[in-house]
Amino acid sequence: MPEKYATSAKSALMVVMLANREVPNVELKDTYKISLLPKDRDVLNRDKLLETLKEAGGTSTGSPTGASTGA
């Protein structure tokens, strides 16, 4: 049975894939009006669709797994 992802998780994943870069949670919330809850983010991390980075100033929703973020 396919995994059911929350709407916010699918939306956040789409933003990160289209941006093809790390997107801080603050940007997800302020710019895109997406509030990604830890439980929903953890499902994406568990399924290796997303890598979450923890920084001193907060959490950053990383790039999609396997995407290049460097120049």
**68 CB-near residues (< 8 Å, 6+ apart):** 20
Q: Show me where the domains of the chain are located.
A: 7-64
**pLDDT tens digits, one per residue of 1-26:** 466 899 999 999 999 999 999 999 99
- Phi, psi (rounded to 5 degrees) for 58: 150, -160
Q: Compute the chain's Rg from CA coordinates.
A: 11
Q: What is the pLDDT of residue 70?
A: 47
- Phi, psi (rounded to 5 degrees) for 6: -65, 155
**pLDDT tens digits, one per residue of 24-65:** 999 999 999 999 999 999 999 999 999 988 876 666 666 666
E-state strands within 1-71: 23-24, 50-55, 58-64
β-bridge partners, 58: 55
